[in-house]
Amino acid sequence: MIELRAVSKSYRTPRGRKYVFRDLSFVIPEGRNVAIIGRNGAGKSTLMRLLGGQDSPDSGRIVTKNSISWPVGLSGGFQGSMTGRQNVKFVARVHGAQGERMAQVVQYVADFAELGEYFDEPVNTYSSGMRGRLGFGLSMAFDFDYYLVDEAMSVGDASFKKKATAEFKKKTNRANIILVTHGMTQVRSLCDIVLLLHNGQVKQFDNVEEGIEAYTLL
């Protein structure tokens, strides 16, 4: 369960303060896969950043006992001059993996990302698809209660996409995902409730089809 209590978030622009959310309160219920949809600029990514802890609200609190992942597939944190393996080890260390567990994480990512020899080459030399695969594999190597997915799973080629979706399905037995997307097929296949963001307010739909319909009518 993730609870937002009177969350406000604004950004300073050259033409004064712009509020994205004002006193936003809602609850993401336990054990549900959530899709966050809305038009461009509705605040989906801001909500994602708040949930992921990359940004903090001006006022209000986000309360949860669950662990929430970093945005799945994040590859901005890679140090270019370090190899894929070293970058994976860095993140594993930050998450307290040592010895056995560390080897396990590295092995998992190496298998999942299918980088072959490139796993021991500097990340600088990777194509953007390879970076994305490494980032995706890294997110999957840790067991979170919630996975934040921002338009991801568009990483890599067709076979990798298939593999990624399959892995997600497997994860959803134990964990849940929070998905931000414009692709309604993904919403239908992965999520069971829909949060529709519009004008700084959130509308919750327990029926996915109803949510999608409300979205298309906007």
User: Token match 């370090």: residue?
Assistant: 82
Token pair of 85 as six digits: 């393996």
- Look at residues 149, 174, 175 and name the one whose alpha carbon lies nearest to residue 164: 149
Report phi then psi at 34, rounded to 5: -110, 135
List the alpha helices (DSSP H) in the chain. 44-52, 84-94, 99-113, 128-140, 158-171, 184-190, 208-217
CB of 82 to other proteins, least distance (A): 5
Q: Is 171 in the site for other proteins (CB under 8 A)?
A: no
Backbone φ and ψ of 2, nearest 5° = -125, 125
Could you say whether residue 104 binds other proteins (CB under 8 A)? no
Using the contact rule CB under 8 A, the part of the chain among 16-24, 54-62, 111-119, 204-212 near other proteins is: 54-62
Answer yes or no whether residue 81 interacts with other proteins by CB under 8 A.
Answer: yes
CA distance 130 to 188: 28
| Pairing state between β 146-150 and 34-38 | unpaired
Segment interacting with other proteins (CB under 8 A) among 25-33, 73-81, 159-167, 194-202: 73-81
- With CA atoms as reference, report the closest residue to 34 among 167, 185, 149: 149
How many residues line the site for other proteins (CB under 8 A)? 28
Asked if residue 21 binds other proteins (CB under 8 A), the reply is no
Closest to 177 measured CA to CA, from 56, 105, 69: 69
Taking the complex as a whole, the smallest distance from the CB of residue 90 to other proteins amounts, in Å, to: 5
Which residues in the 176-195 window bind other proteins by CB under 8 A?
A: none
Residue (16 or 76) nearer to other proteins, CB: 76
Binder to other proteins among 95, 161, 182, 188 (CB under 8 A)?
95
Measured from the CB of residue 179, what is the shortest distance to other proteins in angstroms?
Answer: 18
Tell which one of 112, 126, 144, 205 touches other proteins (CB under 8 A): 144
Contact residues toward other proteins (CB under 8 A) are: 49, 52-56, 67, 70-71, 74, 76-77, 79, 81-82, 86, 90-91, 93-96, 122, 124, 142-145
